[in-house]
Amino acid sequence: MSVFGALDYGSGRLETMTAPTADADRFGAFLTQVAARWSDDQLVLVLDNASYHKTAGLRAWFAARAARINVVWLPTYSPQLNLIERVWRFVKSKLACHRWWRDLDRLTAHAQAVLDATRATFAAPTYPHLRLDWPNGQDFCVSA
Protein backbone atom coordinates (compact mmCIF):
# COMPACT_ATOMS: atom_id res chain seq x y z
CA MET A 1 0.00 0.00 0.00
CA SER A 2 1.24 3.49 -0.86
CA VAL A 3 -0.01 6.76 0.55
CA PHE A 4 0.23 10.15 -1.10
CA GLY A 5 -0.19 13.12 1.20
CA ALA A 6 -0.32 16.88 1.31
CA LEU A 7 -0.25 18.91 4.50
CA ASP A 8 -2.29 22.07 4.97
CA TYR A 9 0.11 24.08 7.13
CA GLY A 10 -2.71 26.37 8.25
CA SER A 11 -4.98 23.71 9.76
CA GLY A 12 -2.48 20.88 10.24
CA ARG A 13 -4.80 18.52 8.36
CA LEU A 14 -3.69 16.00 5.79
CA GLU A 15 -5.16 15.43 2.36
CA THR A 16 -4.35 11.84 1.46
CA MET A 17 -4.94 9.14 -1.10
CA THR A 18 -4.04 5.48 -0.75
CA ALA A 19 -3.07 3.34 -3.71
CA PRO A 20 -1.82 -0.21 -4.23
CA THR A 21 1.45 1.18 -5.65
CA ALA A 22 3.06 4.56 -6.22
CA ASP A 23 3.28 5.55 -9.87
CA ALA A 24 2.84 8.63 -12.05
CA ASP A 25 -0.81 7.98 -12.92
CA ARG A 26 -1.87 7.58 -9.29
CA PHE A 27 0.24 10.56 -8.23
CA GLY A 28 -1.37 12.62 -11.00
CA ALA A 29 -4.80 11.65 -9.67
CA PHE A 30 -3.67 12.74 -6.21
CA LEU A 31 -2.44 16.10 -7.55
CA THR A 32 -5.82 16.63 -9.19
CA GLN A 33 -7.47 15.84 -5.84
CA VAL A 34 -5.22 18.37 -4.06
CA ALA A 35 -5.86 21.05 -6.68
CA ALA A 36 -9.63 20.51 -6.33
CA ARG A 37 -9.47 20.55 -2.51
CA TRP A 38 -7.87 24.02 -2.53
CA SER A 39 -9.41 25.19 -5.81
CA ASP A 40 -9.27 28.93 -5.05
CA ASP A 41 -5.85 29.05 -3.39
CA GLN A 42 -2.29 29.51 -4.55
CA LEU A 43 -0.48 26.28 -3.73
CA VAL A 44 3.12 25.40 -3.02
CA LEU A 45 4.00 21.75 -3.49
CA VAL A 46 7.23 20.50 -1.96
CA LEU A 47 8.33 17.37 -3.79
CA ASP A 48 11.26 15.02 -3.55
CA ASN A 49 12.87 13.48 -6.59
CA ALA A 50 10.86 10.28 -6.83
CA SER A 51 11.00 9.20 -10.45
CA TYR A 52 7.21 9.20 -10.83
CA HIS A 53 7.10 12.89 -9.77
CA LYS A 54 9.05 13.92 -12.87
CA THR A 55 7.40 12.12 -15.77
CA ALA A 56 6.60 14.06 -18.94
CA GLY A 57 2.88 13.88 -18.18
CA LEU A 58 3.30 15.34 -14.71
CA ARG A 59 5.67 18.05 -15.91
CA ALA A 60 2.95 19.04 -18.40
CA TRP A 61 0.40 19.01 -15.54
CA PHE A 62 2.62 21.36 -13.50
CA ALA A 63 3.24 23.64 -16.51
CA ALA A 64 -0.49 23.94 -17.23
CA ARG A 65 -1.09 25.12 -13.65
CA ALA A 66 2.07 27.19 -13.14
CA ALA A 67 0.09 30.39 -12.45
CA ARG A 68 -1.55 28.78 -9.39
CA ILE A 69 0.73 25.93 -8.31
CA ASN A 70 4.39 26.45 -7.49
CA VAL A 71 6.60 23.40 -7.16
CA VAL A 72 9.67 23.35 -4.93
CA TRP A 73 11.97 20.48 -5.83
CA LEU A 74 14.06 19.24 -2.92
CA PRO A 75 17.66 18.20 -3.45
CA THR A 76 18.21 14.49 -4.05
CA TYR A 77 18.61 12.35 -0.91
CA SER A 78 17.38 15.03 1.50
CA PRO A 79 14.26 13.70 3.27
CA GLN A 80 15.18 15.78 6.34
CA LEU A 81 14.12 18.88 4.37
CA ASN A 82 10.61 17.58 3.72
CA LEU A 83 8.41 18.09 6.77
CA ILE A 84 5.87 15.52 5.64
CA GLU A 85 8.50 12.82 6.20
CA ARG A 86 8.04 13.49 9.93
CA VAL A 87 4.31 12.99 9.49
CA TRP A 88 4.91 9.63 7.75
CA ARG A 89 7.20 8.51 10.60
CA PHE A 90 4.53 9.51 13.14
CA VAL A 91 1.74 7.70 11.25
CA LYS A 92 3.86 4.55 10.84
CA SER A 93 4.60 4.53 14.57
CA LYS A 94 0.88 4.68 15.32
CA LEU A 95 0.15 1.80 12.94
CA ALA A 96 2.96 -0.46 14.08
CA CYS A 97 2.17 -0.50 17.82
CA HIS A 98 4.23 -3.69 18.12
CA ARG A 99 1.73 -5.73 16.12
CA TRP A 100 1.51 -7.64 12.86
CA TRP A 101 -1.27 -7.03 10.36
CA ARG A 102 -2.63 -10.17 8.71
CA ASP A 103 -5.44 -8.46 6.84
CA LEU A 104 -4.58 -5.77 4.27
CA ASP A 105 -8.14 -4.41 4.33
CA ARG A 106 -8.01 -3.85 8.11
CA LEU A 107 -4.56 -2.26 7.83
CA THR A 108 -5.81 0.05 5.07
CA ALA A 109 -8.88 1.03 7.11
CA HIS A 110 -6.82 1.72 10.23
CA ALA A 111 -4.22 3.60 8.21
CA GLN A 112 -6.95 5.86 6.81
CA ALA A 113 -8.35 6.42 10.32
CA VAL A 114 -4.90 7.43 11.59
CA LEU A 115 -4.33 9.70 8.59
CA ASP A 116 -7.73 11.36 9.07
CA ALA A 117 -7.05 11.98 12.77
CA THR A 118 -3.46 13.22 12.41
CA ARG A 119 -2.79 16.91 12.95
CA ALA A 120 0.67 18.39 12.33
CA THR A 121 1.89 21.81 13.42
CA PHE A 122 5.27 23.02 12.25
CA ALA A 123 5.12 26.61 13.48
CA ALA A 124 6.36 28.16 16.71
CA PRO A 125 5.73 27.89 19.62
CA THR A 126 4.74 24.20 19.35
CA TYR A 127 7.13 23.25 16.53
CA PRO A 128 7.00 20.39 15.71
CA HIS A 129 3.83 18.99 17.16
CA LEU A 130 2.10 15.88 15.83
CA ARG A 131 -1.02 14.50 17.44
CA LEU A 132 -4.04 12.32 16.79
CA ASP A 133 -7.51 13.82 17.19
CA TRP A 134 -9.29 10.58 18.09
CA PRO A 135 -12.96 10.64 19.04
CA ASN A 136 -13.46 10.43 22.82
CA GLY A 137 -9.70 10.60 23.40
CA GLN A 138 -9.22 7.09 21.99
CA ASP A 139 -5.60 6.00 21.61
CA PHE A 140 -5.29 3.63 18.67
CA CYS A 141 -2.16 1.91 20.04
CA VAL A 142 -3.85 1.22 23.36
CA SER A 143 -7.12 0.09 21.79
CA ALA A 144 -5.57 -2.03 19.03
Sequence spans of domains, the chain = 2-143
Neighbours of 114 (CB within 10 A): 20
Which H helix or E strand runs over 60?
Answer: helix 56-64
CATH T-level assignment (fold) for domain 2-143: Nucleotidyltransferase; domain 5 (3.30.420)
Q: Which pTM does this prediction carry?
A: 0.80
Strands (E), 30-128: 43-47, 69-73, 118-121
Q: Which of 2-6, 8-12, 71-75, 97-101 has the lowest mean pLDDT?
A: 97-101
Residues with Cβ within 8 Å of 65's Cβ and at least 6 positions away in sequence, in order, are: 35
Which pLDDT band, with edges at 50, 70 and 90, does 87 fall under? confident
81-107 mean pLDDT: 83
- Distance CA(142)–CA(126), nearest Å, equals 25
Closest CA to 9 of 32, 38, 48: 38
pLDDT in tens, 39-73: 988 999 999 988 999 999 999 999 999 999 999 99
